[in-house]
Structures are given as C-alpha cells and as structure tokens.
C-alpha cells in the first residue's frame, strides 16, 4: 500500500491536550477529507478541502481544526473542545473519474484520550 499515509497508527493523549494527526498523499489528488469512524456509526465527515489553502466543515467539525498549506498534506488537530475524541480517524483523497469522485483512504489513526 502507498498513496495515502497516516501517522501514527495509535495515539494516546491525556484529556485537555490538543493532538494533531498527520495525513500525507502522493497521488497528486486535489481534494482531501477527514472522517471519524465509530462502531455502529459508519463514517462521518469532519472536514474536507478541495484545493490548497481552502477547506470546509463537514457534518461534525466542532472541536476539530485543519490546515491545507500543501497539496500533499492535510493535518487534523483534535482540540480539547472535542467532547468525545476517542475514535478511529480516516483520511482520504479523491480524484475525478468521469463525473464522480473516487475516494482513496489511508490506514487510519486510532486515538485514545483518557
């Protein structure tokens, strides 16, 4: 596997601390996304970015922040304002194929906050 990398695979933090999750892609995709995956909840969109220096809130953006300074990178910061941060976080990027965007996913980061 290559293309989209997320680090670290597991992350542990104390409550009240901000933490930044890394996402890098070498697929030359314009759009990138952050999802949160919880058991029984499916994937929920946190933030997405269509181009460099631009991003939009998804369905559950509260308590999260992002930046998109480079095409290859889309880091996610989980702030202390996020009430329930323990989850599995997935990063994705997409390319237009015909009239639809096909999303490619990273391996994920499991964040545990205690």
Partner 1 sequence: AQRVTQPEKLLSVFKGAPVELKCNYSYSGSPELFWYVQYSRQRLQLLLRHISRESIKGFTADLNKGETSFHLKKPFAQEEDSAMYYCALSGSGAGSYQLTFGKGTKLSVIP
Where along the sequence are the contacts to partner 1 (CB under 8 A)? 1, 31, 35, 40-45, 48, 50, 58, 90, 94, 96, 98-108
CB of 18 to partner 1, least distance (A): 26
Name which of 16 and 42 has its Cβ closer to partner 1: 42
Contact 11, 108 (CB under 8 A): no
Answer whether the bond into residue 8 is a cis peptide, omega within 30°.
Answer: yes
Name which of 13 and 44 has its Cβ closer to partner 1: 44
Name which of 8 and 107 has its Cβ closer to partner 1: 107
CB of 14 to partner 1, least distance (A): 28
Contact 45, 69 (CB under 8 A): no
How would DSSP label each residue in 3-26? Answer: SEEEE-SEEEE-TT--EEEEEEE-
Name which of 57 and 70 has its Cβ closer to partner 1: 57
CB of 94 to partner 1, least distance (A): 6
* Other CB atoms within 10 Å distance of the CB of residue 71: 17
């Amino acid at each position: 596997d290559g293309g989209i990398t997320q680090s670290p695979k597991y992350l542990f933090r104390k409550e009240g601390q901000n933490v930044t999750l890394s996402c890098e892609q070498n697929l030359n995709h314009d759009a990138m996304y952050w999802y949160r995956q919880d058991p029984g909840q499916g994937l929920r969109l946190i933030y997405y970015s269509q181009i460099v220096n631009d991003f939009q809130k998804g369905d559950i953006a509260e308590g999260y922040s992002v930046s998109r300074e480079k095409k290859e990178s889309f880091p996610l910061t989980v702030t202390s304002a996020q009430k329930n941060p323990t989850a599995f976080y997935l990063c994705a990027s997409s390319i237009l194929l015909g009239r639809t965007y096909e999303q490619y996913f990273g391996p994920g980061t499991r964040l545990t906050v205690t």
